[in-house]
Amino acid sequence: MADLGLVKTLAGAFGTNEASLTLILGLLAGYPLAYFQRQFLFGKSATLHHVYFTLTGLGILYANFGTDILHHVICVFTNYLLMKTIGPKLLSVQLAFLFNMGYLLAGYHFCASNTYDILWTTPHCVMTLRLIGLVTDHFDGGKDPAEQSADQKKLGLTRTPSLLEVAGHSFHFGGVLVGPQFPMRMYLDMIEGKLTDNSEGKRPACVVPALKRMALGLAYTVVFAILNGYYYDDYMTEPAFFESSWLQKYLFVLIWGKVMLYKYVGCWLLAEGSCILSSLTYNGRDEQGNPLWDSCKNIKLSKFEMVMSFQDVIDSFNINTNKWAAHYVYKRLKFLNNRMLSQLFTLVFLALWHGFHSGYYACFFLELVYVNAEKQAHALLKVSPLVSSAVRHPVARPVLLVALKLVLLAHLGYPLVPFALLKSAKWWQVHKSLYFTGHWPFLIFIAAAPFLKKLLKPRDTNTSKETKSD
C-alpha cells in the first residue's frame, strides 16, 4: 500500500484502519475526476478518454495498493492478447475463465489471512469478472446472429477492442475498486457520447443525481461506522456472546447482519455516484420522460430496506454482480436442463470467486436453501385453493405478513455469520450456539414439501360414469 502519512493520521482520528479509509478516499476521488471529465473532456477524442481513464484508475489503485497494481496490468494485457491472437472463439473464453480465476485464486492463496484484509485482491475480484465478461462478449459478437440471444446481441462485440480501449474500460475510476460491473459496449457508448439525456450536444445533466447517490453513500458509511462500534464481527467470537441467552444472541445476529451489509451499500453508492457523473449510467427515460441514471445501480435502497422475502434480498442487493452471474454463468448452463443444478453451479462459482474460506460456501448454501424453501412455499399456495384463500383472508393476511417479515429478519444475519467469520472453527460455534435454527426448519420443509403438495392437492371429484349400450 502506498505510504500516506496524512491518511494514517486521519484513520487513527476516525478510529478505523488506513486501508479502509484509503479505499473510501479512492471512491470519493472519482467525483472530481468525473467532474473534470465532464467539463473538459466531453466531446473530445476517444483516445483522450481512454488515456484519462487508464491513468486515473491506475493512480487510484496505486494510492491504495502501491506496486501491487502490476497484477492488474498483467491481467488486462493477457486478456487483450487472448482476444487478439485467438479471436472470438470458445477457446478464448475457456482460457479467460481459467487464467483470470486461476490468477485471482492464486492471489487469495498467497495473500489472504483469516480475516478480511483490503489487499490488491479486493479490486482484482471485480476486475476478474469484468475481464471474463469482456472476452465472452467478444466471443458472443462473433457468433452468427441467428445463434445469439437478445442479451448477446445487445452486449456482443463485433470487433476486437484495442489495448487502449481494454485498459480504459478495465481501469475506469468509477468501477476500479468495488465495481459496479459494466460491459465494454456500455463503456464505448459513453465514450461516443451516446449515453446522454439530450441530443443537442450539451453535457448530460447528471450532476444532481450523482451528488444524491454520494450523499446516500456517505450517510450509510457513517451509520455503519457508528453502529459497527457496537455490532462488530469479532463480538461473536467473544465469551460474552456465548454467555448470553439464545434470544439475545439471535437479536444480536439480526441487527449485526443489517449493519454489516451497510458497509457494502455505502461503498456501492459512492462508486455509483461517480459513474453517474461520468454519464456511464444513462438508461433512457421513464414513463414521465425523466432521465434514468440507474444502469450501474448495485442496490435498490427502498426494496432493500423493505424486503418481504429472501428473493427480495437477492433482487435488491449486489444487483450488477447477480446480473453478471446470470448472463455469463447461469444462462450458459442450459445444457444441464436442470434449473436447480444451474443455480447450484452458479452459486459455487460465486463462492469460489470470493475465496477458499468455508464461510463463503456455507453462506451461499444457505442462500440456495432459503430461496428454494420460499419457492416451495409459493408452490404449495398454488396447489391448494383452500390454503391460498386462507392466506388471502383479510384477517389472516396481515398476521401472515408480519410473521413472514419476522422470519426474514430473524434469518437475514444468520447466513452472513460464516461469510464474515470465514473459518469454520468460528462460524460453526455461532450457529451451534443458535441450535442451527437457520438450517433444520428450512431443510425439513424442503424435504416435506412434495408430501405436503400431495396432501393439500384437491382430489378429483369427477367420477367416471359407465354408459350402458342398448
Instruction: Return the closest-CA partner of residue 379 out of 448, 292, 298, 330.
Output: 448
Question: Residue 286, exposed/middle/buried by CB under 10 A (0-12, 13-18, 19+)?
Answer: exposed
The catalytic position among 49, 354, 411, 439 is 354
Asked if 364 and 434 count as a contact pair (C-beta separation under 8 A), the reply is no
* AA letter at 205: A
**CA-to-CA distance for 263 and 23, rounded, in angstroms?**
12
**CA-to-CA distance for 124 and 105, rounded, in angstroms?**
10
Query: Residue 317, SS3?
Result: strand
In the block, cell 441467428 appears at 146
Catalytic residue list contains 327: no
Cis peptide before 204 (omega within 30 of 0): no
**CA-to-CA distance for 342 and 339, rounded, in angstroms?**
5
Asked if 292 and 203 count as a contact pair (C-beta separation under 8 A), the reply is no
Asked if 217 and 270 count as a contact pair (C-beta separation under 8 A), the reply is yes
Phi and psi, residue 366, nearest 5°: -65, -35
Asked if 58 and 65 count as a contact pair (C-beta separation under 8 A), the reply is no
DSSP character string of 126-139: HHHHHHHHHHHHHH
The catalytic position among 79, 318, 322, 372 is 318
Radius of gyration, alpha carbons of the chain: 25
Catalytic residue list contains 49: no
Residues 6+ apart with CB under 8 A from 455: none
Q: Give the 3-state secondary structure of 402-443.
A: HHHHHHHHHCCCCCHHHHHHCCHHHHHHHHHHCCCCCCHHHH
Asked if 370 and 442 count as a contact pair (C-beta separation under 8 A), the reply is yes
Query: What are the residue numbers of the active site?
Result: 318, 354
